[in-house]
Structure 1
Amino acid sequence: MNIFGAMYDKTMQWSKHRFAAFWLSFVSFIEAIFFPIPPDVMLIPMSMSKPQSAIKFASYAAIASAIGGVIGYSLGYYAFDFVKYYIELWGYQGQWHKAVSWFEEWGVLVVFIAGFSPIPYKIFTICAGVMQMAFLPFLITALISRAARFLLVAKLAAWGGEKFSAKLRQSIEIIGWSSVGLAIVVYLILS
C-alpha cells in the first residue's frame, strides 16, 4: 500500500505554497500549546525546496514556538486543572511526570533540553508554568533552544536540497511503514 508517497508529494507541493511560511509559523505556535505534530514536518520540505530561505523559515518557526510557549506557560501557571484533564486524555501522564522530575532536578536547563527532546514541547511549556519557573529565563531559554533546533533542522534540510528530496522520495514508503511499525512496538512496550 503506497500512502506515504502521496503524502510526501502533497507535503512538498504545500511547502512551495505562497502561504507556507504562515502555516509553518501557525503550526509552530500551536505545537507549543497543544498540537501533537511538530513543525519539522513542514520546515524540512520547505527548507529542501527553498534552501536560500531555510534560515528565514527556521526563524519564523522559533519565534512562533516561543510565543506559543508563553501561552503554554500561562496555561500551566493559571489553569492547570483544565490542562490536567487533557494531559490525561491524550495519554501524556508518563511524559508529564518525567518533565516535572527534570524541572525539580535541573530547573531552567530543562527548557533548553526540551527544545531538542522527543518529548512533546508543550509538556515542558505547561510544566514550566505549573512549576512557576521565573518567566524571563524561561522565555530566553525557550527562544534560544527552539532557534537552535530549527536552525539545525533547516540547514540540514537545505544542505540536502532537491537531491536529497528525490532520494528521500524513493525510500519514503519504507521509512513511513518502518516508522509506523516502530511506533506500534514502542507503544506496546510502554503500555
Structure 2
Amino acid sequence: MNNTVGHDESVELETKGWVKRWLIPLVMLLLVVVITAVLFVYRDDVSQLEEYGYLGAFLISLVANATIILPMPGQLLIFALGASFNPLLVGLASGFGGALGEMTGYVAGASGRGVLQNSRTYLNAVSWLKKWGVFVIFLFTATPLPVDLIGIAAGALRYPVWKFLLVCTLGKVILYTGMAYMGAWGWDTVVSQHWDTGTMWIVVAAGVSVLVLLGLALFFERWTWRRGR
C-alpha cells in the first residue's frame, strides 16, 4: 500500500515538474511569438494611434517595444507627438508604455532558457548583465541600442522583474522625452523660421546624432543576431 502511494506521489511530482519546466514555458514563448507576429503584420496600423495624444504615445511605445527583434515605426512617431503635445508628458507616457512592452523579451527569456544558450551574443549579454547589472539595462534602454537581447538574457537569468521594469522605465522615459523635445524644438524652429547660425548647427548636429545612433543600433542588432545564428 505504501509503495503504491509513494509511486503515485512520484508520478504526480514528475507531472508537475514537466508542466512547470516545459509546458508553461512553451505556452509563454508561443504567446510572445504570436503577439510579435501579429503586431508586425499590422505595423502600419500603429501610426493611427497617434491621433489619441498621450494615450496614443503610451500605446505606440507599448506596441513598438512588445515586438521582439522585428522593427516597428513607433520611435519615429514620438517626434511627431512631441511637436503636437507637451513633450514631457509624451516622454512619460511613451516611457511607461515602452517599459511594459519590453517585458515580452523578459518573458521570452524566462520561458525559453535553452533556446539561445549556444548563441555568442546571448552569452555576451549574460556576461554583461552579470557584471554590470542595472547599468547595462539602463544603457540599452536610454539609447536606441537594441534592448531585446538584454531583456531575453534578464528573463533567462531570472533577474528580478521589479528591478528590470524599474530600470527600463527610467531609461525609456529619458530616451523618449529627449525624442519628444527634439521633435518639438525642430517643429518650433521650422514654424518660427528662426534659422540663425547657432540654431542651424544645433538642429543639424542633433539630427545627425540621432541618425548615427539609429544606424549603429540597426547595424549592431543585425550583426549580433547573424553572428549568433
Q: What TM-score, normalized by structure 2, do the two folds share? A: 0.54
90, 101, 113: which one aligns with 1:68:
101
Cα distance per residue 1:151-190 (max 9 Å; x no partner): 122122212224348999xx9xxx8xx98xx78xx59xx5
Q: Work out which of the two has the higher radius of gyration on C-alpha atoms and give 1 or 2.
A: 2
Match of 1:46 in 2: 81
CA distance in 1, matches of 2:79, 2:130: 34
Secondary structure of 1:133's counterpart equals coil
CA distance in 2, matches of 1:97, 1:26: 32
Number of equivalenced pairs: 157
Q: Which moved more, 1:52-61 or 1:138-147?
A: 52-61
- Alpha-carbon RMSD across the aligned residues, in angstroms, is 3.8
List structure 1 segments (4+ residues) > 4 angstroms apart after TM superposition. Answer: 14-17, 20-23, 164-168
Larger RCO of the pair (alpha carbons < 8 Å, separation 6+): 1
What is the Cα deviation at residue 95 of structure 1? 4.9
Structure 1 unaligned blocks of 5 or more: 1-13
**In structure 2, what residue type is equivalent to 1:46?**
L
What is the Cα deviation at residue 64 of structure 1? 0.9
Q: Which moved more, 1:70-79 or 1:145-154?
A: 70-79
CA distance in 1, matches of 2:86, 2:48: 12
What is the Cα deviation at residue 96 of structure 1? 3.7
**In structure 1, what residue type is equivalent to 2:96?**
I
68, 72, 76: which one aligns with 1:37:
72
Secondary structure of 2:71's counterpart equals coil
CA distance in 1, matches of 2:49, 2:190: 16
Percent identical residues: 18
> In the alignment, is residue 77 of structure 1 matched against residue 77 of structure 2?
no
Compared CA separation, residues 99 and 36, structure 1 to 2 (3 A)? farther
